[in-house]
Chains A and B, each alone.
Chain A
Amino acid sequence: MAPATAHDAVFALRREIARIEGRIAETLDGSGVLHRSCEEPDAIPHGTVLRREGRADALLRLQTGVERFDAALHGGVPFAGLTEIHGAASRDAGAVLGFTLALLGASSRVNGAAKPLLWIGTKDGVAEAGLPYLAGLYRLYGIGPEHLILSRGDRAADALWIAGEAAGLPSLGAVLIELRGSPSALDLNATRRLQVRAREAGRPVLLLRQNAVSEPTAAPTRLHVAPAPSALRETLAGPLDGTVGYPAWRVSLSKSANGAAPSDFTLEWNFDANSFRERTERETALPGALVSVSRGGADQARPDGAELAQTRSEPAALGHEPARGERPAHRVLRQAG
């Protein structure tokens, strides 16, 4: 076989593999050098639905709007498919769910219609970390009663059965499965099923895990989420010391289909504007001096029609509780209990 023909054959095969895996194929430029087309940030215009071979949404991404993060994932977390999001311990459950919903919310410009979320937990998981609390979710993400369905299996196998059935249902906006530890039911087959069905249905299925070891699964993307100190609350006089403002998370990318190098990000989420921003290294090093840059209306415009996160709370209304510095001086630190 002539070298040129062999080259073409290899290229065609790679294209085929890329098609099956649902990523963008490498392109061959004139000099015969392979490029990954995703390395140009403009390769996928935001919100464009690409159709190839009849399958829509295969290349759609969940984007944070943070360029470095999205680029590391070649455009964002795959929209249609399974994504694993890990937290170190049960006490990090809030961070894991918080980040996941923020990711879905920030991407709702792509998601479009307000389809309900299905949350699936296990009995022991509910005993360990409680149930998602609608009052908090509504406040932070604008998730109303009609947008949330809670489901619970007694064992991990039951939860995975529910997830498997739900994964193929395009009527749901997203499916979240929360599992603790590494149950034996969660094997390569189970995750493969979730991945394939989610891709067919064109919708994210997010596997939230705590206390888990990173065993091989069929999920093309795996993120680790840990809490990070939140931003200080903004007042007219500037950031208020000692307050708990916009939440932030340390997100590390440990696996991606495109083989990106493991990398860390500290992402802060502005729930008023429904947008992420990345903290600079200087901010991360000095957590006491965190100031959100998105104050003063400099943040990105909130997309119209975004349904997942749309309660714009009035920051002034939160100021009625005195911060530590403003409390009466007679309260001093004493031993209690």
Chain B
Amino acid sequence: MVTSRREANAQRIASCDRRAEALGLRPGTGIADARARHPELVVEPEDTHADRHLLLTLADWCDRYTPLVGLDEPDGLFLDISGCAHLFGGEEAMRTDALARLARQGFEARAGLASTPGAAWALVRYGSEAMQSRGIAQAEERQALAAMPLGALRLEAQARQGLESVGLKTVGVVADAPRAPLARRFGTALIARLDQAFGASDEAISPRFAPAPLSAERHLFDPLQEPDRIEELCGHLAVTLRPDLERQGLGVLELELALFRVDGVVSRVRIALSRPTREPAVIRRICREKLSALGNALEPGYGFDLVRLSVTASAPFETPQTSLVAESRKGDEAAIALLADRITARLGESTVRQPTLRDTHWPERAVGFVPFGRLDGTPSDNLAIPARPMRRHPVRPIYLFAPPERIEVTAAEVPEGPPRQFRWRRVTTRVVRSEGPERLAPEWWLDPQPWDPPLIDPKTEETQESDLGWTGQKAIMRDYFRIEDEDGRRYWLFRQGLYGTGPNGVPRWFLHGLFA
């Protein structure tokens, strides 16, 4: 079987399996040629997207060996195992373990160990089986790579052909050649690659995820399946994390629970907390909510054989002061924070919020929302409006619609009076009493500007939920009225713009809130 790729207007082999290789097929051969030689050949179009996805999944899986996993597309992975190998019984044992596990998952993998990424890369692709299992020790790179072809240096095809055409065909020959003329003729990239391979210059592996400053993990001989036992294990891991957190004076703000499934799939679960904590019992409870919220989405399959709990965000944690007066209040706050975290873990982000008052007169912006426990933080809409001083407030409704709802005003005092009668949600309401107008002008000095309701009827369209509410055309001034109907219902409604300015010269009316 081979996969095909369109290359320079011809179908060529992109990759082949072992049996195809045995038949003498190589990547780059034209599909037509190959078919002619072997009519029974199975050809599948290449799916680079799926290949990449598979590589990413593998990278995730390799996270079990080291947090520093870098991609080497299209078919390689770099693992920086400095300081990790002893956890697996040494470098050789680690390599054997990885290869065995990959083979069990049906991958044919090669692994080479060297002290530079460049040498390891060359070793995997051009080294013999024996060399690979031996590895390349520090300062032996030059010697080990000397016999390898130029491909081992990760060169551009053009530079490689250029070198070969002048008779420099192995790494050793190029390395022994005088550097200045080489650099002049073939560019500094060649020199850089040589230095990287031989360890003369450092090459950093860019890891896919920033390694967590703190993490605790447990390898399991008996794979875990039940959420209860995973939760229990989270509790144990949290206990393990605690001394380190205490030493650094930190509390956990965000955790990542990585579950490594036996067959190589890695599930990562993000757990956010509203206040720093290091209490294992708290962490365990929140893990429970998260796991039960995930439910079947977790798919334990044959179970997880590695569970890791890493701290992805932390904050200074003040050791609770023992003050008799403040004690109960602190306890209350902690209890509410735990509830908020559990709700968030189970029902998703932004299900628990606290409103804040802000210093603006524009109704939609006068109240911002922050996640629970972040009252001093910036509201989610990111507008730099300071908090409102807690002083006198204008009269405002107790419910606010977002967006304001369009109403049909059938009779109003023109030009600046309140409506006499209006229709809202198919019910005609007669206005008995009214107060107003209270004229609000848009905040032209702010960027972005407040927006006015869209032209569509909000009832027929899906209402967008966001703190600013909706977007539409640019804001126009509004005249707000407090209205009471015959039954005593109290509404807050406004006229958008003045008579004679809107479309057809008739301004639109909106209902924006309900009073007590």
A residues with CB within 8 A of B: 90-95, 97-99, 101-102, 115-116, 126-127, 129-140, 144-146, 148-154, 158, 161-162, 165-166, 169-172, 226-230, 242-244, 247-249, 269, 287, 311, 313-314, 317-318, 321, 323-324, 327, 331-337
Contacts and interface: CB of A to CB of B under 8 A. Distances in A.
B41 to A, nearest CB: 52
A130 B436 contact: no
Contacts of A269: 516
B88 interface: no
A65 B346 CA distance: 41
Interface in B300-353: 331-333, 335-336, 339-340, 342-343, 346-347, 351-353
Interface in B360-388: 363, 366-367, 369, 372, 375
Given A133-B400, A162-B347, A331 B417 contact: yes
Residue from B355, B396, B402, B490 with most neighbouring chain A CB atoms (10 Å): B355
A148 B354 contact: yes
B15 interface: no
Interface stretch (B56-64, B147-155, B265-273, B481-489): B481-489
B209 interface: no
A81 to B, nearest CB: 20
Nearest to B388: A135
Interface stretch (B107-115, B119-127, B404-412): B404-412
B171 to A, nearest CB: 61
Contact of A136 (B354, B409, B411, B513): B513
B514 A94 contact: yes
A226 B399 contact: no
B351 A229 contact: no
Nearest to B342: A165
B396 A135 contact: yes
Residue from B347, B424, B463 with most neighbouring chain A CB atoms (10 Å): B347
Contact of B354 (A129, A138, A145): A145
B200 interface: no
13 contacts: A93-B514, A94-B399, A101-B516, A129-B399, A135-B393, A136-B397, A138-B357, A139-B396, A145-B357, A243-B433, A244-B483, A311-B393, A336-B412
B340 A149 contact: yes
A162 B342 CA distance: 9
Contact of B489 (A94, A97, A102, A334): A94
Contacts of A335: 410-411
Q: Across chains A and B, which 3 residue pairs bring their CB atoms closest together, nearest first?
A: A98-B516, A94-B514, A171-B332
B434 A98 contact: no
Contacts of A243: 433, 435
Contact of B463 (A94, A127, A150): A127
Nearest to B433: A242
Contacts of A154: 347
Given A226-B488, A331-B417, A336-B411, 18 more contacts: A94-B398, A94-B516, A95-B489, A97-B516, A102-B516, A130-B401, A135-B367, A145-B356, A148-B354, A150-B355, A150-B369, A153-B351, A165-B342, A171-B332, A242-B433, A244-B435, A244-B515, A336-B506
A323 B488 contact: no
Nearest to A324: B434
A153 B352 CA distance: 9
A243 B412 CA distance: 17
B392 A226 contact: no
Interface string B434-462: 11111000000000000000000000000
B395 interface: yes
B397 A244 contact: no
B89 interface: no
A169 B343 CA distance: 14
Interface of B: 331-333, 335-336, 339-340, 342-343, 346-347, 351-357, 363, 366-367, 369, 372, 375, 390, 392-402, 408-417, 419-420, 424-425, 427, 432-438, 463, 465, 482-484, 487-490, 499, 506, 513-516
A206 B356 CA distance: 23
Contacts of A146: 354, 375
A236 B410 CA distance: 35
Given A115-B332, A131-B400, A230-B488, A139 B410 contact: no
A93 B397 CA distance: 11
A133 B400 CA distance: 6
Given A230-B484, A242-B434, A130 B400 contact: yes
B425 A91 contact: yes
A134 B333 CA distance: 21
Contact of B339 (A101, A138, A165): A165
A135 B340 CA distance: 23
Given A127-B463, A133-B367, A166-B339, A321 B399 contact: no
Nearest to A90: B425
A337 B412 contact: yes
Contacts of B390: 138, 144
Contacts of A162: 343, 347, 351
Contacts of B335: 169-171
A91 B415 contact: no
Contact of A131 (B372, B402, B484): B402
A158 B435 CA distance: 40
B359 to A, nearest CB: 11
A266 to B, nearest CB: 10
A335 B354 CA distance: 43
Contacts of B419: 336
Contacts of B437: 321
Contacts of A165: 339, 342-343
Contacts of B394: 135, 139
Contact of A94 (B408, B436, B515): B515
Nearest to B420: A333
Contacts of B409: 336-337
A140 B436 contact: no
